Amino acid sequence: MKQNPVVNNSPELQDSIHETKRRLAQRPFPDFISLRQHVSVSFEFFPPTSIELENKLWSCVAQLAPLRPRFVSVTYGAGGSTRQRTHATVDKILAETSLIPAAHLTCVGAPRDEVDKVVRRYWDIGVRHLVALRGDSADPGRAFISHPQGYQTAAQLVAGIRKIADFEVTVAAYPEIHPDAESQQADLDNLKRKLDAGANRAITQYFFNADDFLRFLDRVRAAGISAPIIPGILPVTNFARIVKFSEKCGATIPVWMRDLFAGLDDAPDMRQLIAATVAIEQCRLLLEQGINEFHFYTLNRSELTRAICHALGLREYREDSLCELNVSG
Q: Which of 75, 209, 246, 305 binds ligand FAD (CB under 6 A)?
A: 75
In the annotation, is 168 catalytic?
A: no
Q: Are 232 and 73 in contact (CB under 8 A)?
A: no
The residue among 35 and 214 lying less far from ligand FAD, judged by its C-beta, is 214
The residue among 30 and 94 lying less far from ligand FAD, judged by its C-beta, is 94
Percent composition of the chain: helix, strand, coil (DSSP 3-state, to 5) = 45, 15, 40
Which of 70-78, 236-244, 304-312, 315-323 is the region at the interface with ligand FAD (rule: CB under 6 A)? 70-78
Q: How far apart are CA 157 and CA 105, in angstroms?
A: 9
Q: Are 188 and 220 in contact (CB under 8 A)?
A: yes
CB of 182 vs ligand FAD, minimal distance in Å: 7
Sequence letter at residue 74: V
Rg over alpha carbons for the chain, rounded to the nearest Å, is 22
Residues 221-240 that bind ligand FAD (CB under 6 A): 232
Residues 193-222 that bind ligand FAD (CB under 6 A): 194, 203, 205
Residues 129-168 that bind ligand FAD (CB under 6 A): 131, 133-136, 153-155
Annotate each residue in 168-187 with x if it binds ligand FAD (CB under 6 A) or - if it does not, as one string.
----x-----x-xx----xx
Grouping H, G, I as helix, E, B as strand and the rest as coil, residue 20 is: helix
Of the candidates 95, 170, 97, 96, the one whose C-alpha atom is nearest the C-alpha of residue 132 is 170
CB of 202 vs ligand FAD, minimal distance in Å: 8
Grouping H, G, I as helix, E, B as strand and the rest as coil, residue 292 is: coil
Q: How far apart are CA 22 and CA 20, in angstroms?
A: 5
Of the candidates 329, 313, 326, 308, the one whose C-alpha atom is nearest the C-alpha of residue 31 is 313
The residue among 75 and 209 lying less far from ligand FAD, judged by its C-beta, is 75
The residue among 118 and 264 lying less far from ligand FAD, judged by its C-beta, is 118
Residues that bind ligand FAD (CB under 6 A): 75-76, 78, 104, 106, 131, 133-136, 153-155, 172, 178, 180-181, 186-187, 190, 194, 203, 205, 232
